[in-house]
Amino acid sequence: MDEHNFTRRGLVLGSLAILTSGCTTNWPLGSGLTSSGVKRRYLRKEVEYAGSEPVGSIVVNTYERQLYYIEGDGRAMRYAVAVGEEGLTLKGRATIGRKAEWPSWTPTASMIERKPNLGQYAGGVPGGPNNPLGAAALYLYRGGQDTYFRLHGTNAPWLIGQAVSNGCIRLTNEDIVDLYSRVPVGTQVLVI
């Protein structure tokens, strides 16, 4: 038999071996999710971009649930995001005023008021894999003041593409690490 031919028996037996080996996923087969739990259509991608924002800036389109890092020559790196629930998203211009890897998180008083179950975290959550801000955060400032809105990672990547947060913009941990490496403090951000 040619070494590149597969038999049905070989395919079935190989599949059974994988299924019984402990290699499992958290989603059903055929769900369209990647290994990080994100739908394939939401994977990071370089795209054409016709906007007028300067090279090196960020545009977040909350309607599209996409973030664009402007690269120039009509190109941008596109990242899928989860956005704030209706009425909770920051709009307009901001600046990245601070960056943090594995940031800690403390819900604001208004978050706890809207979602009382967050009161259990009022003392803060240290940075790490179980922190809702994920692997990194870019802190949005206006007029030199923290807006309390962030571009950050998430430990719930299956929520990318939805309006679910208290206003922050969530990216997969892989994507926030990539974006974090590209942008310095002072980067201009436009949220539309």
pLDDT per residue over 105-114, tens digit each? 888 888 888 8
- In the set 44, 65, 78, 152, the catalytic residue is 152
Task: Clarify whether 152 is annotated catalytic.
Answer: yes
User: What pLDDT digit, counting tens, does each position of 144-185 carry?
Assistant: 999 989 999 998 888 899 888 777 899 999 999 999 999 999
Displacement of CA 93 from its chain's centroid (Å)? 20
Is 29 within a domain? no
Is 136 part of a structural domain of the chain?
Answer: yes
Is residue 23 situated within a structural domain?
no
Using an 8 Å Cβ cutoff, are 24 and 59 in contact?
A: no
* Calpha distance 4→110 (Å, rounded): 61
| Active-site position among 90, 136, 168, 171 | 168
Instruction: Residue 62: give the domain boundaries.
Output: 34-191
Average pLDDT of the residues in 114-135: 85
135 within a domain of the structure (yes/no): yes
Residue 125 lies in a domain: yes
**Domain-located, residue 80:** yes
- CATH assignment of the domain containing 171: 2.40.440.10
Give pLDDT, residue 68.
98
Give the chain's domain count: 1
* Residue for token pair 């031919």: 5
Within a domain: 19? no
With 60 as the cut, is the pLDDT of residue 115 above it? Answer: yes
Per-residue pLDDT, 86:
65
The two three-digit tokens of residue 76, written as one number: 């941008």
**In a domain? residue 44:** yes
Those residues whose C-beta lies under 8 Å from the C-beta of residue 31, and which sit 6 or more positions away, are none
Widest distance between CA atoms in the chain: 71
Q: Is 168 a catalytic residue?
A: yes
